[in-house]
Amino acid sequence: MKRYTIDPITRLEGHGKIEIFCNDAGDVDNVYFQVPELRGFEKFCEGRPVEELSQIVTKICGVCPGCHHMASGKAADAVFGVEPPPTARKLRELFYMAHFIHSHIAHFYALAAPDFVVGPTADPAERNVLGVINKVGVEIGTEVLTQRRIAQEIQALLGGHQTHVVMNLPGGVRKGLSEADRKKIEEHAKGFVEFGKFSLKIFNDVVLQNKEYVDIIVNGPYSLKIHSMGLVDDNNKVNFYEGKVRVVDPEGKEHCKYSPNEYRDFVEERVEPWSYLKFPYLKKIGWKGFVEGKDSGVYHATPLSRLNAADGMATPLAQEEYEKMYETLGGKPVHATLAMHWARLVELLYSAERCLELATDPEITGTELRAKLDKTPKEGIGIVEAQRGTLTHHYWTDERGLVTKVNIIVGTTNNNAPICMSLKKAAQGLIKKGVTVDQGILNMVEMAFRAYDPCFSCATHSLPGQMPMIVNFRDLEGNITRTVRRDS
Partner 1 sequence: MAKEEKPKIKLAVYWGAACGGCCVSVLDVHEKLFDVVAAADLVFWPIALDIKYKDVEAMPDGHIDVTLFNGAVRNSENEHLAKLLRQKTKVLVAYGSCAHMGGIPGLANFTTKDELFKRIYDETESTVNPDKIRPQPEHEVPEGKLKLPEFYNDVRTLDQVVDVDYYLPGCPPQTERLVEVFMAIVSGAELPPKGSVVGALDKAQCDECKRKKSDNKLIKKFYRPWEIQDDGETCFLEQGVICMGPATRGGCGVRCIEGNAPCRGCYGPPPDVPDPGAKMMSAIATMIDADDEEEIAKIVAQIDDPAGTFYRFSLPGSMLRRKLT
Residues that bind ligand SF4 in the complex, under the rule CB under 6 A = 59, 62, 161
Q: Which is nearer to ligand SF4, 26 or 62 (CB)?
A: 62
- The listed partner (ligand SF4, partner 1, none) that binds 134, CB under 5 to 8 Å by sort, is none
Distance, CA of 422 to CA of 305 (rounded, Å)? 15
What CA–CA distances, in Å, run from 457 to 27, 117, 316, 470?
A: 23, 9, 28, 22
- The listed partner (ligand SF4, partner 1, none) that binds 42, CB under 5 to 8 Å by sort, is partner 1
CA nearest 170: which of 71, 67, 257, 51? 51
Contact residue for partner 1 among 26, 27, 44, 261 (CB under 8 A)? 44
Contact 206, 463 (CB under 8 A): yes
Q: Which is nearer to partner 1, 146 or 219 (CB)?
A: 146
Enumerate residues 182-211 that contact partner 1 by CB under 8 A.
Answer: none
Residue 99 touches partner 1, criterion: CB under 8 A: no
Distance, CA of 18 to CA of 360 (rounded, Å)? 47
Distance, CA of 154 to CA of 228 (rounded, Å)? 31
Residue 137 touches partner 1, criterion: CB under 8 A: no
Contact residue for partner 1 among 409, 459, 469, 471 (CB under 8 A)? 409
Enumerate residues 363-392 that contact partner 1 by CB under 8 A.
Answer: 370, 373
Residue 400 touches partner 1, criterion: CB under 8 A: yes
Stretch that binds partner 1, among 177-185, 243-251, 263-271, 290-298 (CB under 8 A): 263-271
Q: Which is nearer to partner 1, 161 or 332 (CB)?
A: 161
Distance, CA of 109 to CA of 128 (rounded, Å)? 9
Stretch that binds partner 1, among 42-50, 190-198, 252-260, 332-340 (CB under 8 A): 42-50
Distance, CA of 351 to CA of 104 (rounded, Å)? 10
- The listed partner (ligand SF4, partner 1, none) that binds 65, CB under 5 to 8 Å by sort, is partner 1
How many C-alpha atoms does 157 have within 13 Å on its Cβ side? 22
Cα angle 304, 305, 306; round to 5: 90
Distance, CA of 75 to CA of 77 (rounded, Å)? 5
Residue 108 touches partner 1, criterion: CB under 8 A: no
- Helix, strand or coil for residue 488? coil
CA nearest 232: which of 249, 256, 251? 256
Please enumerate in sequence order all residues whose Cβ is within 8 A of that of 287, keeping only pairs 6 or more positions apart, or say none: 268, 270, 279, 281, 297
Per-residue contact string for residues 52-91; x = within reach of partner 1 by CB under 8 A: x--xx-xxxxxx-x--------------------------
Residue 262 touches partner 1, criterion: CB under 8 A: no
Q: Which is nearer to ligand SF4, 65 or 250 (CB)?
A: 65
- The listed partner (ligand SF4, partner 1, none) that binds 394, CB under 5 to 8 Å by sort, is partner 1
